[in-house]
Amino acid sequence: MANHTTNRQATTDSSSGVAGVIEAPSDSQSKHPGSILDEDRDTLVKLYRQMLLIRRFEEKCAESYNLGKIGGFCHLYIGQEAVGVGAISAIRKDDYVVTSYREHGQAIAKGISPKAVMAELYGKATGCSHGKGGSMHLFDTSLNFLGGHAIVGGQIPLGTGLAFASKYKGTDQVTLCFFGEAAVNQGAFHESLNMAQLWKVPCIYICENNRYGMGTSLERAMSIHDVSQKACAYDIAAEFVDGMDVLAMRQATEHAVKRAREQSLPTLIEARTYRYMGHSMSDPGKYRTRAEVEKYQERDPLKLFRTTLQENDILAENDFARMENEIKGEVEAAVKFAEESPEPDPRELYTDVYANPEGFDFTKSN
């Protein structure tokens, strides 16, 4: 960031006594890089594999979109994989995830099969939202992946409500609520964080700061450039994370999950990341230079983690090649599944409008 790069003030989580120190790293360095020593081999391999799967999946989406197979808006996650993969690796299957319209990667990380995601993008009956949601509205209640929401910031009160429900019911489920840095300018963000700390709900707010709200840089949109600073206003613990470091992301989320599960307290995590592609597939990205994109690509999350894995003898060159091959097959199978799946039955147009449709006569329409 151009300014605000020196010492941060610290917020103290008043109810727990745990200090959530906000440190602003430069764009290339987290104050707390992820530690490989804390992780077992299987976890490390799984994290890399998921990131690679998402990268290849998204590349295939771009291809299919350009072929006219995917309609509407299509917002790709390329460059941001470490954020979703790292964070979601820190929660349980029954924990909730709610997110924005840039959610293919998070859906896969939470466990929705690439087939069901791709079929949804193709608008097929076998899609995870049965072809009714599309790219921006992926759902799977069996995995507590509750959307894909397409009004900027709209999911932030929803995530707060999911966490409220966990506390109300006395479960120890936590909620991960993802959004971009542009959503922080919406009232929904501020209203939610106020209620979250007022009522002490186990919601982890993860701001994926990819530096642009569509074509507007955060410097042109925010009076304060460090999103994590916003937590001070609500006395919420905050973490500032290198979003290109999957282990840093995982470990920061683990701290937040512990705080949420054990003390029922919210956390705001700011993950500094970058999207390599346009805002959506229709965005040529003229608001930034090629050199800027390349600068961030030097710290590509897959490249960084691959180096870490190689240096620590977790995976060797041939392991990576084998993994590439497997994933290529998996993505191709997803496309084949989507291509071959049936369109939704025309009768589905009028289903799912109401859970209890008594009193409605949809046969009259059209």
Partner 1 sequence: MAVLTIRDALNAALREELARDPDVFLMGEEVAEYQGAYKVTRGLLEEFGPKRVIDTPITELGFAGLGVGAAMAGLRPIVEFMTFNFSILATDQIINSAAKMLYMSGGQVKIPIVFRGPGGSAYQVSSQHSQALESWYAYFPGLKVVMPSTAADAKGLLKSAIRDDDPVIFIEQERMYGMKGEVPDDGDFTIPLGVAEVKREGTDATIVARSLMVPLALKAAEELEKDGVSCEVIDPRTIRPLDIETIVESVKKTNRVVIAEESHPFCGVGAEISTEIQERAFDYLDAPVRRVSGADVPMPYAKSLENLALPGVEQIAAAVREVAYI
Query: If you write DSSP's letter for every residue of 184-237 in order, what string do you get?
Result: GGSHHHHHHHHHHHHTT--EEEEEEE-SEETTEEGGGT-SSS-GGGGGGGGT-E
30 touching partner 1, by CB under 8 A = no
233 touching partner 1, by CB under 8 A = no
Question: Shortest distance, CB of residue 278 to partner 1, whole angstroms?
Answer: 24
How many CB atoms are closer than 10 A to CB 304? Answer: 19
286 touching partner 1, by CB under 8 A = no
Binding mask 84-113 for partner 1 (x = CB under 8 A): ------------x-x---------------
Structure tokens at 187: 């009232």
Cα–Cα–Cα angle for 24, 192, 29, rounded to 5 degrees: 15
Applying the rule CB under 8 A, the residues between 129 and 158 that interact with partner 1 are 129-133, 137, 139-141, 146-151, 154, 156-158
Cα–Cα distance between 99 and 177 in angstroms, integer? Answer: 6
DSSP annotation of 43 reads H
| Span from 4-12, 76-84, 253-261, 350-358 in contact with partner 1 (CB under 8 A) | 350-358
**Binds partner 1 by CB under 8 A, chosen from 2, 359, 363, 366:** 359
Nearer of residues 131 and 301 to partner 1, judged by Cβ: 131
204 touching partner 1, by CB under 8 A = no
356 touching partner 1, by CB under 8 A = yes
Nearer of residues 51 and 236 to partner 1, judged by Cβ: 236
| Span from 103-111, 183-191, 205-213, 226-234 in contact with partner 1 (CB under 8 A) | 183-191
Residue 24 contacts residue 237 (beta carbons within 8 Å): no
192 touching partner 1, by CB under 8 A = yes
Query: If you write DSSP's letter for every residue of 260-296 in order, what string do you get?
Result: HHHH---EEEEEE---SS-SSTT---TTS-HHHHHHH
Site for partner 1, rule CB under 8 A: 96, 98, 127-133, 137, 139-141, 146-151, 154, 156-166, 168-169, 187-188, 191-192, 194-195, 198, 351-356, 358-360
